[in-house]
């Protein structure tokens, strides 16, 4: 089985994916079952200049120490040779067993922007990642993701979203975590998508969710509109990050409270 023809609209990204696939296959051989795109390239709000390339590599079994070490060296080499995409590639290596059903303490090899290649325990959003993969994942190589991931109910999805909300409460306990204007934009737009998911039981792009939230939350529409602009203007260094931090924090707290109320009402309604 070979790589799918032109999995993305970008010729250079397709070339990068072909190279990455060949290097993963050289290490894992037939143990690699499939390679799939998800994230912004799938959701429809990919920014060529700044967005990450998010991938899931499905493996027949868990990887051994030799394979993990080989992948680590390969990703380090890719970072040197493909500088344009350094720190913008995420690949999670997951066994088909862990893809099919959620295993809360599963430990996966992972390369992620801002982090070196390492083995880490899956977070609460792993159910969400599996949901997106099954519903919208783009095949780079391998069978349809629907054949690898069991159906995920709306209840399971909402429970996972609640877990991410709890993570956000801990995360913003240190405002420094979202002090930068780009981080504020990410937080605001993520909250829009989180609220949309809680209310509709479906995932859409951050931009789609933001446009919906502008109408749903008119008192916050100005901030949401600015967040969309901040996301586009990530290169701008002439920014007073602290000027908007408190408003951003208030919005995040507001949405987390709304989500919690909606989840509780859904359970007891």
List the domain range (segments joined by +) for residue 251.
154-268
Same domain, 107 and 160: no
What DSSP element (H or E) covers 169? helix 154-171
Residues 26 and 114 in one domain: yes
In a domain, 6, yes or no: no
Same domain, 69 and 120: yes
> Closest Cα partner for 231 from 177, 172, 178, 184?
184
Which pLDDT belongs to residue 231? 86
- 133 shares a domain with 210: no
Same domain, 36 and 113: yes
pLDDT at 188: 98
Within this chain, do residues 140 and 233 fall inside the same structural domain, yes or no?
Answer: no
What does each of the 269 residues of the chain score in pLDDT, given as a tens digit?
678 889 999 999 999 999 999 999 999 999 999 999 998 888 878 888 888 999 999 999 999 999 999 999 999 999 999 998 988 999 999 999 999 988 888 899 999 988 899 999 987 778 888 999 999 999 999 999 999 999 998 888 888 888 899 899 999 999 999 999 999 999 999 999 999 999 998 888 899 999 999 999 999 999 999 999 998 887 777 889 999 999 999 999 999 999 999 888 875 34
Rounded CA gap, 28 and 22, in Å? Answer: 10
Burial class (CB in 10 A: 0-12, 13-18, 19+), 46: buried
Does some domain include residue 230?
yes
- Residues 85 and 203 reside in one and the same domain: no
Task: Give domain status of residue 2, yes or no.
Answer: no
Same domain, 52 and 73: yes
Residues 136 and 173 occupy one common structural domain: no
For the whole model, what pTM was predicted? 0.86
Instruction: Please tell me whether residue 67 adopts helix, strand or coil conformation.
Output: helix
> 3 lies in a domain?
no
Counted domains in the chain: 2
In angstroms, rounded to a whole number, what is the distance separating the alpha carbons of residues 124 and 166?
9
For residues 74 and 117, membership in a common domain is answered with yes
Helix (H), strand (E) counts: the chain = 10, 6
């Amino acid at each position: 089985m070979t790589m799918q023809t032109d999995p993305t609209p970008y010729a250079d990204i397709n070339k990068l994916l072909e190279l990455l696939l060949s290097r993963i296959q050289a290490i894992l051989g037939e143990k690699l079952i499939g390679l799939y795109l998800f994230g912004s390239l799938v959701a429809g709000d990919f920014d060529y200049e700044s967005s990450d390339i998010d991938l899931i590599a499905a493996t027949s079994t868990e990887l051994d120490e030799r394979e993990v070490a080989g992948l680590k060296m390969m990703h380090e080499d890719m970072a040197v040779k493909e500088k344009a995409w350094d720190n913008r590639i995420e690949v999670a290596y997951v066994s088909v067993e862990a893809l099919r059903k959620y295993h809360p303490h599963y430990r996966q090899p992972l390369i992620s922007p801002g982090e070196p290649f390492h083995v880490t325990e899956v977070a609460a959003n792993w159910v969400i990642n599996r949901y997106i993969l099954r519903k919208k994942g783009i095949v780079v190589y391998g069978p349809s993701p629907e054949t690898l991931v069991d159906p995920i109910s709306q209840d399971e999805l909402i429970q996972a979203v609640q877990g991410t909300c709890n993570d956000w409460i801990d995360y913003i306990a240190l405002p420094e975590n979202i002090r930068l204007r780009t981080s504020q934009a990410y937080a605001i737009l993520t909250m829009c998508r989180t609220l949309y998911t809680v209310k509709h039981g479906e995932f859409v792009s951050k931009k789609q969710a933001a446009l919906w939230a502008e109408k749903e939350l008119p008192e916050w529409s100005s901030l949401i509109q600015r967040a969309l602009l901040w996301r586009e203007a990530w290169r701008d260094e002439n920014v007073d990050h602290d000027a908007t931090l408190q408003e951003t924090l208030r919005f995040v707290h507001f949405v987390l409270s709304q989500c919690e109320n909606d989840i509780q009402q859904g359970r007891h309604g």
